[in-house]
Structure 1
Amino acid sequence: MQNFKKRARLFAEKLGGEISFGHDGSLTFAIDDKSATFDPVSKEDMNCSVKVGGDSTRYQIPKSYIFDIIDKLGTRHLASSLLKYELKPILQLNDYIVDEKVSGFWIDCAAKLPTTHR
């Protein structure tokens, strides 16, 4: 849990926002006039309350989506999309590693081609 909180705090600071932790296990990310509060419901899920300007909404999502929400909230043109947030598959670390390996494979193949075929 400490690693999770540290990563969330560092990510929030990178975006120019701030994170505060509640005594009840909640976490609040705030930047400009936008904020998101995450309250744990279970080991896997959380309630998320999002406020963008004067509008707000609330939904229940898996905990793995916290970084996606913080990223969107910290990106000016994507923040309003959180008012109608849809769960879509998010990039997992393993997906990124596989993608990097595939990219590296094709770069190596291209480097081995004779120059007449490039």
Structure 2
Amino acid sequence: MSKSRIKLGAQGEDLAVDYLKKKGLTIRVRNYRKKTGEIDIIAQDGQCLVFIEVKTRKSLRFGQPYESVTLTKQAQISRVALDYITRNKLHDQPIRFDVISILLQSGGDTDINHLPNCFEAVL
């Protein structure tokens, strides 16, 4: 992955964290990595554990950012979430999978689209 894409992703994740905190969520972990994949943000929303994928783009040339969260990506996120739940003994806690879609427009405008409970676990 190019340095510019890594920088864009990090910028999007920072914006997503700020957005989530303003919405009252508590950030538990950023960039939870395992061999099988990564979850961008793991947060707590009341009693619910939230696994969040952040997608950031500078244009709509390839569609909305959230459109890149394919069934394959959902399965990867689900497997990593299961690892996190197991390691932290959180089996009794309700969970959900969110996507935050960020479009950084020219002129400095930012469009943040939060899709809560966007998909079910895919294993």
Does TM, scored on the shorter chain, surpass 0.5?
Answer: no
| TM-score grouping bracket, smaller chain normalisation | 0.3 to 0.5
Which structure has more helix as a fraction of its residues? Answer: 1
Which structure has more strand as a fraction of its residues? Answer: 2
What's the TM-score once normalised by structure 2's chain length? 0.37
What's the TM-score once normalised by structure 1's chain length? 0.38
Q: Which structure exhibits the higher relative contact order, with contacts defined as CA atoms closer than 8 Å and separated by 6 or more residues?
A: 2
